[in-house]
Amino acid sequence: MGWLLARLYLRTAVLRKRSVIIGLFVALEVLLAFNAAGHTTFGNLLRELVTGFMLPVVALVFGSAVIRDDLEGGTLGYFLARPIPHHTLLLSRTGMAALVAMAMGLFMTLGNAVALGASGSELAAATAAIALGAFAYTCVFVALGILFRRTFLAGFMLLFADWALGRMPMGGRFASVRAHVENLAGIEPPFRAVAEMLAPPPSAVTSVLALMALSGGLMAFATWRFRRFEFSGAEG
């Protein structure tokens, strides 16, 4: 049942014309990486375009589609009227959304690594960070999709808050998902104030635990909330 639901999500939410825009941006990012060779580093480009923009946006698109697309389209009622446990519906679709976000993130990471000549250890760290980051961001947007009708607006505002938090001094930036992803990937922050040196970044293990706790907590909350979910027709 779970695999069937995940495949159905892939067909109805991912393999659509509208995903072409996301695909174009992903391709453009890799293309830019090849043109940027010699002018920037792997870490810089990853921070500016992948962890700073593409990864959260891809997760926003596919994470918010997990429930919100069917809710707005009115097709969620067909699922909820079937003998499908709510958690199976939610978790299988979330899993597929996270896989799609990971695949896109890893494609960009690999493209950037090849274009900018990243070392094996840099690529390994970035791969792990992007995979975990894709999962964490997807969980964030799935939960937003269950909580808010205007998921995209809430998502844009959350991305803005994540970006703003990511620029806080004195380790305050580690209140953002982005800072933990960049910390795991071994990417330097965009600025290095004295205050930043006084509060060194947490260890990689701490960042992994922080991202996993966030994802797990959000999914537990989303599942609990979704079990109490009521469907009153299309909201689109």
Partner 1 sequence: MSIYVRRFSRYEGKLEPPRGRFRVILLAELRRIFADKWWRRFLFGAAMPAVMMAGWLYLMTTFQEATGAELDFPFFSVLFGWQFSWLGIMQAWFGASMITGDMQTKALSLYFTRPIDATQYLLGKLGATMALALTITWIPSLLVAVVQYSVADHLTFGAFAENVWSITACSMGAAFTTSALILLLSSTGLSARYVGITWLGAFVFLEAIRGILYESTGRSEALDVLSLARLLSGSVEYYFLGASHKLGSVITLWGVGALLTLILRIRLSGFEKARS
Partner 2 sequence: MTAVITTERLSRWYGQVIALNDVSVTIEQGIVGLLGPNGAGKSTFLRLVVGLMRPTSGALRVLGAVPADEIAWRRRFGYCPEHDNFYEDMTGLEFVETFARLSGFAAGDARRAAAKTLDRVRLAESDYAKKQIRQYSKGMRQKVKIAQALVHEPELVVLDEPLTGADPVSRHEINELLKELGRAGHTVVVSSHVLHEVERVTQRFILIDKGRLLAEGTVGEIRALIDKHPHRIELSTPDPRGLAARLVAEPTVVSVNITESGLTLETREADGCYAAIGRLAGESGIPVLRMVSPDNNLDAVFRYLTRG
Residues that bind partner 2 (CB under 8 A): 1, 4-5, 8, 11-12, 16, 73-75, 77-86, 230-234
CB of 106 vs partner 2, minimal distance in Å: 28
The closest alpha carbon to 215, from 189, 181, 188, belongs to 181
Nearest-approach distance from CB 62 to partner 2, in angstroms:
17
The CB-of-84 to partner 1 minimum distance in angstroms stands at 27
**28 or 198: whose CB is closer to partner 1?**
28
Place of tokens 């959350």: 158
Q: What is the closest distance, in whole angstroms, from the C-beta atom of residue 62 to partner 1 in the complex?
A: 12
Rounded to 5 degrees, what are φ and ψ at 37? Answer: -55, 130
Long-range contacts formed by 160-167: CB under 8 A, 24+ apart: 162/56, 163/52, 167/191
Decide which of partner 2, partner 1, none touches 3; Cβ closer than 5 to 8 Å per partner kind.
none
The answer to whether residue 53 forms part of the interface with partner 1 (CB under 8 A) is yes
- Return contacts of 29-34, CB within 8 angstroms, 24+ apart: 29/54, 29/108, 29/111, 29/112, 30/107, 30/108, 30/111, 30/112, 30/115, 33/108, 33/111, 33/112, 33/115, 33/116, 34/111, 34/115
Q: Which is nearer to partner 2, 83 or 120 (CB)?
A: 83
CA distances to 112, 134, 183 from 137, in Å: 21, 5, 15
Phi and psi at residue 57, to the nearest 5°: -70, -45
Separation CA 61–CA 69 (nearest Å)? 10
38 in contact with partner 1 (CB under 8 A): yes
- Contacts with partner 1 in 121-180 (CB under 8 A)? 150, 152-153, 156-157, 160, 164
Q: How many residues belong to the site for partner 1 (CB under 8 A)?
A: 26
- What's phi and psi for 189, nearest 5 deg? -65, 160
Q: Rounded to the nearest whole angstrom, what is the least distance from the CB of residue 65 to partner 2 in the complex? A: 13
Residue 160 binds: one of partner 2, partner 1, none (C-beta under 5 to 8 A by kind): partner 1
Can residue 21 be called a binding residue for partner 1 (CB under 8 A)? yes
Q: Which is nearer to partner 2, 156 or 231 (CB)?
A: 231
User: Closest distance between partner 1 and the C-beta of residue 15, in Å?
Assistant: 15
